[in-house]
Amino acid sequence: MSQGTPERIRNVALISHQGAGKTTLAEALLFKAGVIKRQGSVDEGNTVSDYDPEEQRRRLSLNATVLPVPWESYKINLLDTPGYFDFVGDVLSALRVVEGAVVLVEAAAGVEVGTEKVWQYAEERKLPRICFVSKMDRENADFSKCLSELRARFGNRVAPIQVPVGQAESFRGVVDILEGKAYLDGSDTAADVPAEVEALVTEAREALEEAVAATDDDLTAKYLEEGSLSAEELRQGLAGAVKSGEVVPVLCGSAAKGIGLAQLLQAIGTLLPSPLEAEPQPTVAEGGEPVAPGDGPLAAYVFKTMADPYVGRLTLFRVYRGTINSDSTVHNSVRGKDERIGQIFVLRGKEQQAVSSLGPGDIGAVAKLQHTQTGDTLCAANAVVQLQPVQYPAPKLSLAAHAGERGDEDKIFSGLARLVEEDPTLAVERDPVTGETLVRGLGEMQLDVVVSRLKEKFGVTMELKTPKVPYQETIRSKVQAEGKHKKQTGGRGQYGHVFLELEPLPPGGGFEFVDKIFGGAVPKQYIPAVEKGIRETMAEGVLAGYPVVDVRATLYDGSFHPVDSSEMAFKIAASMAFKKAFEQANPVLLEPVMRVKVTVPESYMGDCIADLNKKRGKILGMNPDGDLQVIEALVPMAEMFHYATDLRSMTQGRGDFEMTFDHYEEVPAELAQKVIEEASNQAS
C-alpha cells in the first residue's frame, strides 16, 4: 500500500440514504483499481468494507471503514459510511476528516430522506461533493428523474458531466461530456458518442458551460464573447467550481456491471481538493491560530476508536499537519498526557499494513493507546494544539439494561463502557431513583446492535426493556400521627414513642425536619434517630416505593423509657408515624414532565401535534425555522421512551427532537392507581 504525497491524496466519504449501494460501489472501485482479485458481495457477506460479523449478518454497514484505493498517481482514501440513521455518528466522524464527498443516489429511488440528511451534513462542513447516480442497470432506473429531483432539492449548481447510454436493462455505458467520448460495456477505451444520445450530450454540454462560466469572471467574458469554452477551459473551470462548492457534478454508473467506475475515480482525483487545498482546521482555543495543512509540528485528529476484547483499543486518526512516526511519543492535548505510539498501520477494511510514518493528509491507525479517545488531538509536546471536535447528536432513546444471567452485571457494565468508546452517540448511565442502568442511543437498531456485540465480543447476554419511570411521592394535606414501637422480649425491651406532624412544601422544597420537643419528652440523643428513620422511609417510599419529596416533618411530642429506649427504637417509631401520617395526608404520585422541541417539515405538523396530544402533551407553541416547523410541548416522560421510533415513523425520518427535564407534576388518578397496583404486585 503506497503512501501518497499530500497533493496526490484525496480523502473522500461515500454518503447516501440506506441501500443506495455505497459498500457495493466501494468494492467495485477496489476491484477496478486492482486492489482485490475478486469482487465481493454484500449479500454474500464477503466485502472488504463490511467485515464486522454483525454487518455481515444484517447485510448493512454499521461502521465507517477506511479503504485506500490507488488510482493512477492518486491515493484515494475512501471512507465507506453507514446509511442507516442510527449510525450517523460514524457518518459525522468520516465527514470530519475528508476534503470531499461522493453522494450516491439510487437510480430507481431518486432523492430520499437520507440523501437530504447527508447533503445537509456535507453542507455544514462546506465539503465539495460529487453526485453519483448508482445502480443504473436496475429496473425503473431513471437518470433524468434523479437529476430533476437533485436540482429541485439542492439547486441548479447540480450539473451532469455524464450522460448515460441506455438505462435499466439497456444500460451499457456513459458519455463524458467534457471529452465528448463514450465508454461502453465497462471498457476504459474511449468510443464515439452513440447517435441516440448526441442531442442529450449537446444540451448537457451547453448547460455545463453556462454553469461553469458563471463561477469565474474571465470564463464569463470568454463564454459571452465566443459562445463556448474549450475542453481545457471547461475542465479547469469545473475543477475550481467544484472545489469552491459552486458546482456539484453528477456522474452515473453501475457497480455490478463495472460501468462508470474509472470515470468516477478520475473525477475524484481531478475535481475534489487535496488536503493541501483544504481550509485551515479550527482549534478549540478562543482566538487560537487555525492549523494550516502541510509540514510543521504534528497535529492529528482521532476520529474513531474500535474496542476489541483481544487486540485492545484501535485508534484511527487523520494527520493534518506534520508527520507521525512509529515508535515515537506524542502529546494528547485534550487529556494533557503523553502517549507512546507503537506500530502505525494503514487500514483497508480489517487488513492492517505496517508503515513507518504518515504525513499530512493521510489516515492511519495505532493500537493500545492508554488515554486517547474519539475527538482527541495528538500533537507535538512543544506545539500543543487542540483541533475542533465533532458535535455528535444527543441520544434520543433510552432502554434499561438487564443481565441475561445473574452475576453478569459487572461484565455488562464493563462491556458497555468499551462500546461507548467506539460510538460517541451511545451513553450509559445509572438512574439514581429507579437504580436501573440505562443504555441511551439514537434508535432501536443501534441498541439492538449493542446487545449483539456484547454477546459476540464480551460473551455476556443483556436484555433491553422499557425503563421504569422515576416517579416521586408527596402529600397535599397537613396531618398529625403517632408512632409507638414497644417490644418486650424477656430481657431489655425496646421503646420509642413519637408524634409527628407532616405538611406539604412547595415543589422543589425537598425535605425539612423540625424539632419542637419541649421538656425532654424525647431526649436529645434520640432526635437524630427520629430524623434518620424519617429519611430512610422517605427514600423507600410509601405509596409505590418511590422517593418522597417536598415534605416538612415536625417532631412535636413523644415519650421514652429510661431503660428500654434506644436509637433503633425511636428510628422505628418515627418510620411508623411517618407512614401513618403520609397515608392520611392526601398522598399523590408525581411524574417527570419533559420539555420537548420537535422539528419537522410543515407537512407533518398535524400528525405530530395529534400524536403529542395522545401522549398527554401540552402544546406550548409552534415556530418556523427555515423550511421547518418547531413544536414546543410539555410531555410526561412515561409517554416518551419510544418517541424516537414513533417520530421517525411519522415523518419518514425527516423529524428530529430534543428533550430535557422540566418539572414534576401530579399523575392523573387512574394512571396513578395502576402504578401503585403494579408496585404492590411486584412487592408481593
**Predicted pLDDT at 645:** 92
Is residue 525 in a domain?
yes
Identify which of 444, 458, 446 has the alpha carbon closest to the alpha carbon of residue 416.
Answer: 458
Cβ–Cβ < 8 Å for 527, 553: no
Greatest CA separation for the chain: 117
Quick one: 480 and 448 in the same domain? no
**Same domain assignment for residues 426 and 451:** yes
pTM, two decimal places: 0.90
User: Taking all residues of the chain, what is their mean pLDDT, rounded to a whole number?
Assistant: 93
Cα torsion at 333, 337, 338, 344 (round to 10°)? -70
Q: What is the pLDDT of residue 170?
A: 96
Nearest to 401 by CA among 377, 422, 427, 425: 427
Pair 55, 189 in one domain: yes
In a shared domain, residues 311 and 451: no
In this structure, are 348 and 433 located in the same domain?
Answer: no
Q: How many CA atoms lie within 13 A of 124 on its CB side?
A: 12
Cα–Cα distance, 429 to 426 (Å, whole number) = 10
pLDDT of residue 309: 60
Q: Radius of gyration (Cα) for the chain, nearest Å?
A: 33
**pLDDT value of position 308:** 66
Q: What's the count of helices (H) and strands (E) in the chain, helices before strands?
A: 16, 33
pLDDT, position 307:
75
Query: 527-540 and 567-584 helices cross at what angle (nearest 10)?
Result: 50
**What crossing angle do the helices spanning 198-213 and 217-226 adopt, rounded to 10°?**
130
Give the distance, in angstroms, between the CA of residue 37 and the centroid of all CA atoms in the same chain: 35
Q: Measuring CA to CA, how many Å separate 77 from each of 48, 332, 432?
A: 14, 25, 45
Q: Do 546 and 587 form a contact (C-beta atoms < 8 A)?
A: no
Angstrom distance (rounded) from CA 482 to CA 558: 8
Does the residue 617 lie in any domain? yes
Domain that includes residue 456, residue range: 397-465
266 and 304 belong to one structural domain: no
Res 566: pLDDT: 92
* Rounded Cα–Cα distance for residues 156 and 211 (Å): 8
Among 447, 465, 483, give the residue marking a domain's end: 465
Any domain includes 227:
no
Of 413, 441, 465, the last residue of a domain is 465
Q: How many domains in the chain?
A: 5
Specify the pLDDT at position 2: 52
* 189, 150: one domain: yes
Query: Residues 492, 444: one domain?
Result: no
- The verdict on 614 and 646 lying in the same domain is yes
Asked if residue 291 belongs to a domain, the reply is no
Task: Classify strands 158-160 and 248-252 as parallel, antiparallel or unpaired.
Answer: parallel
Cα angle for residues 321, 327, 330 (degrees, 5° grid): 45
Does 233 reside within a domain?
no
Q: Please list the residues that pair with 438 across neighbouring strands.
A: 400, 429
Q: Collect the ranges in the chain with pLDDT lower than 50.
A: 1
SS3 79: strand
The packing angle between helices 217-226 and 231-243, to 10°, is 150
CATH number at residue 143: 3.40.50.300
User: Given 379, 411, 445, which residue is the final one in a domain?
Assistant: 379
CA atoms within 13 A on the CB side of 351: 10
Residue 559: inside a domain: yes
CATH number at residue 325: 2.40.30.10
Q: Are residues 90 and 161 in the same domain?
A: yes
Measure the CA–CA gap between 328 and 296, rounded to whole angstroms. Answer: 16
Say yes or no: 645 and 662 in one domain.
yes
339, part of any domain: yes
Say yes or no: 578 and 655 in one domain: no
pLDDT tens for residues 61-120?
Answer: 999 999 999 999 999 999 999 999 999 999 999 999 999 999 999 999 999 999 999 999
